[in-house]
Structure 1
Amino acid sequence: MSQIGKEVETFKAQAYNAKTDEFIEVTEEDFKGKWSIVCFYPADFSFVCPTELEDLQNQYATLKELGAEVYSVSTDTHFVHKAWHDHSDAISKIEYVMIGDPSQTITRNFDVLDEELGLAQRGTFIIDPDGVVQAAEINADGIGRDASTLVGKLKAAQYVRKNPGEVCPAKWEEGSETLAPGLDLVGKI
C-alpha cells in the first residue's frame, strides 16, 4: 500500500546519535517542522547496507543545507547501531541518527517489513515538514540505492510545496522549467 500523502504514524524508539555519540529517543514528532529523509535497511553488520549508509553520509551535508534531517532505521537495537559505528570503517563516518526498531513498529508503519525475516526492506522516504510522505523508493535486498538521487527529489518536493499549481517534469533540475497542469497541456507533451 502506498505511503505517499500519508502522515507518519505514531512511534517512539531509541536511537544512536552518531554525531554526538549518545543514545536519544525519537518519535514521529521529530519528523515535523523540517524535511526528513528516512532510510530503512535490513541489518547492521551486513554487506550492501554499509555501502548505502556510507553513500547517504556522503550526501548528508547537502541534504542538511537543503533543510533536511536524515535518519536510518533497521530492526536492530540502538546498542547494535553504536557497536557497528564503533567497528566499521564505513559506518564510523556516519553523523546522522540511527534509529533502532526491534519492535518493528516503525518498519511496519512504513510498510517495509519483511514479515518472514523480521527485517526492514530497502525503503527510502522523503517526509515534508507536516510529517507527510512525499516520495518513496523501495528496492529488493540485492539492489543498493544511490543517495545522490535524493538531492534532486528533495529539491523537487520542496519546489512543488512552495509553488502550488506547478509540477516538476522528469529529470527536473533546480532553476529549470516546470509545468502548470491544465487543459491546454493535454496531449501536447
Structure 2
Amino acid sequence: MGIINSEIKPFNATAFKEGEFVEISEADVKGKWSIFFFYPADFTFVCPTELGDVADKYEELQKMGVEVFSVSTDTHFTHKAWHDSSETINKIQYYMVGDQSGNITNNFGVMREGQGLADRATFLIDPDGVIQAVELTAEGVGRDASELMRRVRAAQYVRKHPGEVCPAKWQEGEATLSPSLDLVGKI
C-alpha cells in the first residue's frame, strides 16, 4: 500500500458524538494523533465488538493525545439510532462518522467495489496529518484495541526519538534499536 507516509485528503462529514451531530473535516485531525477506524456497517456482528473494544480504551487514548473517528458508509442518523439501541455502542464517546457519500472511505482506499461498504481498516495518523500505520483485515477478523494502542505508543515514541525504531512486540519502556551499519546481520 502506497498510503503510508501520505497526507490525508480533504473531507467534510457529519458525525454523531456525545448525543449531538457535529461537522468535521481534515482540519479536526491536524495537530493531534488520530485513529480512523473503518468498519462495514452498523447493526452487524463483528463491528460492535470492535467499536466497543475501542470505546473501552478511549479514555486512555485521549490521555495519549489521540482522537478516534469510527467511519462507515451509514448515515449519522443511523449511528445515533445504533448508539441509542445497543448497550455496547452506547458506551462510545468518540466520533461516529457518517460517510454515506463514500468520500472518506474512497480517500483512504478502503471502499469495497460494488458494495458501498468500507473494509475493516484502521489508520493511525500523526499530528501533521500523515498516515503512519495501516491495518486491514478480512470481513470475519476483528481487530484488537490493545494492539492498536501498542502501535500508537510505538509511533509516538519514534516521532519523539528520531534515529530510534521499535522492534516487534515492543512495549513502552522497553529497549529500542538505533539502526546503523553495526547492527546489520547482528539481530
Range of TM-score over shorter length: over 0.9
Quote the Cα distance in structure 2 between the aligned partners of 1:186 and 1:26. 45
Offset, 1:25: 0.7
Aligned-partner Cα distance in 2 for 1:2–1:23: 33
How far 1:2 sits from its partner (Å)?
A: 3.1
Does 2:184 align with 1:186? Answer: yes
Which AA in structure 1 matches 2:96? M
**Letter aligned with residue 51 of structure 1:** T
Q: Deviations over 1:35-89 (max 9, x none)?
A: 0011000000111111110011011111111110111000001011001101111
1:66-85, aligned counterparts within 5 Å? 66-85=64-83
Paired position in structure 2 for 1:6:
6
The letter for the 1-side match of 2:11 is F
Question: Which residue of 2 is the match for residue 162 of structure 1?
Answer: 160
CA offset digits 1:76-112 (Å, max 9, x no partner): 0101100110111111111111000001010011111
The TM-score, its normalising length taken from structure 2, stands at 0.98
Distance, in Å, in 2 between the alignment partners of 1:134 and 1:69 is 15
1:118 paired with 2:116, answer yes
Aligned equivalent of 1:16 = 16
Secondary structure at 1:90's aligned position in 2? helix
Amino acid at match of 1:157: A
Number of aligned positions between the proteins: 187
SS in structure 2 at match of 1:160: helix
Whichever residue aligns with residue 113 of structure 1, its letter is: M
Task: Extract unaligned runs of 5+ from structure 2.
Answer: none
- Matches for 1:1-189 after TM superposition, within 5 Å: 1-17=1-17, 19=18, 21-189=19-187
Residue 29 (structure 1) shift: 1.1
Distance 2:174 2:41 in 1: 39
Matched letter for residue 65 of structure 1: K
AA aligned to 2:12 is: K
TM-score w.r.t. length of structure 1: 0.97
The one-letter amino acid paired with 2:146 is S
- Distance, in Å, in 2 between the alignment partners of 1:171 and 1:44 is 32
Structure 1 unmatched ranges of 5 or more: none
Computed over aligned residues only, the root mean square deviation of the Cα atoms, in angstroms, reads: 0.8
Tell me by how many angstroms 1:175 deviates. Answer: 1.1
Residue 99 of structure 1: SS of its match in structure 2? strand
Partner letter of residue 81 of structure 2? A
**Displacement over 6 Å in runs of 4+:** none
Distance, in Å, in 1 between the alignment partners of 2:27 and 2:72 is: 19
